[in-house]
A and B are shown apart, each in its own frame.
Chain A
Amino acid sequence: NAGVMQNPRHLVRRRGQEARLRCSPMKGHSHVYWYRQLPEEGLKFMVYLQKENIIDESGMPKERFSAEFPKEGPSILRIQQVVRGDSAAYFCASSRDRGRDEKLFFGSGTQLSVL
């Protein structure tokens, strides 16, 4: 019963390149959340998705960032034309349902470094 799987664990990109981060939720979970952790800061909510739907993307920058959770396959967080300020740890979490006290299960994160 694998947990939330994120890959790659580490991603190095040069400025202007694209970064694609993948997240496979726990089995039976259809709700996915992405959080970003900047150095010395707490995790910040980015986006909440259900299968094929974006429910809340209020924490995601309007430009260059996009997220999807297709019917088949993992959720993808895509960052176009990366800049140094995008360097951070990106965590994905999943839950079975959306409820008042639904527990979130987090993956190990992807550390993005922009050169």
Chain B
Amino acid sequence: KQEVTQIPAALSVPEGENLVLNCSFTDSAIYNLQWFRQDPGKGLTSLLLIQSSQREQTSGRLNASLDKSSGRSTLYIAASQPGDSATYLCAAGFDYKLSFGAGTTVTVRA
């Protein structure tokens, strides 16, 4: 059974600082690793999807890395802004099923 853990559970940083969010998973037999953003009262927005054969994906200020052998993924957000405040979820994908972590709630202070 896949277990996904996200550390820390919450993070507060001043605007402009870089963010580092960690995700670990127990079963390395994954198809992909995905990062989502969840805003209060809203659905999940897909940020990045890293295929199992890839090491990283980048989109704008976001960069996610994947190390399957150690069961880890890291999401980096450069030069954080107040608009980045949200809960970030990582999910390990196997076929059609996603196993989610509990999320890291980020607050970026202006």
- Write the B80-110 contact mask toward A (1 if CB under 8 angstroms, else 0): 0000000001010001111111110000000
| Interface of B (DSSP majority class) | strand
* Residue A65 at the chain B interface, CB threshold 8 Å: no
CA–CA, A33 and B102, complex, Å = 19
Q: How many A-B residue pairs have CB under 8 A?
A: 62
**Docked-complex contact A100 and B98, CB < 8 angstroms:** no
Is B32's CB under 8 angstroms from A100's CB? yes
Which one of B31, B42, B89, B96 contacts A33 once the chains associate, using CB atoms below 8 Å?
B96
Of B14-22, B44-52, B59-67, B68-76, the one touching chain A: B44-52
A43 touches B32 (CB 8 A): no
B46 touches A42 (CB 8 A): no
Contact present for A109 and B96 (CB under 8 Å) = no
The residue among B4, B43, B46 with the most chain A CB atoms within 10 A of its own CB is B43
Query: Using a CB–CB distance below 8 Å, which chain B residues touch chain A?
Result: 4, 31-32, 36, 41-46, 49, 51, 89, 91, 95-103
27 residue pairs bridging A and B, Cβ less than 8 Å apart = A33-B96, A42-B4, A42-B100, A43-B89, A43-B91, A43-B98, A43-B100, A45-B97, A45-B99, A48-B96, A55-B96, A56-B97, A91-B43, A95-B96, A98-B95, A98-B96, A100-B32, A100-B95, A101-B31, A101-B32, A102-B96, A103-B46, A103-B49, A106-B43, A106-B46, A108-B43, A109-B42
Which A residues are closer than 8 A to B by beta carbons? 3-4, 6, 9, 31, 33, 35, 40-45, 48, 55-56, 91, 93, 95, 98, 100-109
Top 6 A-B pairs, shortest CB-CB distance: A42-B100, A106-B44, A108-B43, A106-B43, A43-B100, A42-B102
